[in-house]
């Protein structure tokens, strides 16, 4: 939260063509709709290669825009992070 404004952050902002920028958004929460077809379910799955049991959580939902007047696009500079040794 910044100045009592809730923040939602995602790592999924696609690049615009060959430029190192992409569009995100700033909006009122009433601008979005949210539809859930399958609620959050969880289970365990054994992975022999890791010699461990994994916790798997699944949900099926979609978020979509209801009112374009309650938000605005914001262009961000983005880059692909790499690790060099």
Q: Which single residue is written with the structure tokens 């909006």?
A: 27
Residue 68 lies in domain: 28-72
Q: How do residues 17-52 score in pLDDT, each as one tens digit?
A: 778 888 888 778 788 888 998 888 999 999 899 899
The answer to whether position 57 is within a domain reads: yes
Does a structural domain hold residue 13? no
- What would the pLDDT profile of 4-26 be if each residue is shown by its tens digit? 767 777 777 788 877 888 888 87
What is the DSSP annotation of 18-39?
TSSEEEEEEE-GGGEEEEEEEE
Predicted confidence at residue 45, as pLDDT, reads 93
| Per-residue confidence (pLDDT) for residue 85, from 0 to 100 | 61
45: its two tokens: 């799955």
Q: What is the pLDDT of residues 47-85, one digit of tens each?
A: 899 899 999 999 998 888 888 888 888 888 877 677 776
Domain count, the chain: 1
């Amino acid at each position: 939260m910044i100045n009592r404004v809730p923040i939602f952050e995602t790592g999924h902002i696609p690049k615009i063509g060959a430029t190192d920028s992409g569009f995100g958004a700033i909006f009122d929460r009433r601008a979005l709709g949210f539809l859930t077809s399958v609620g959050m379910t969880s289970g365990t799955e054994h992975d022999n290669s890791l010699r461990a049991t994994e916790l798997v959580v699944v949900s099926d939902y979609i978020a979509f825009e209801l009112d374009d007047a309650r938000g605005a696009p914001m262009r961000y500079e983005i880059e692909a992070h790499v690790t060099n040794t």
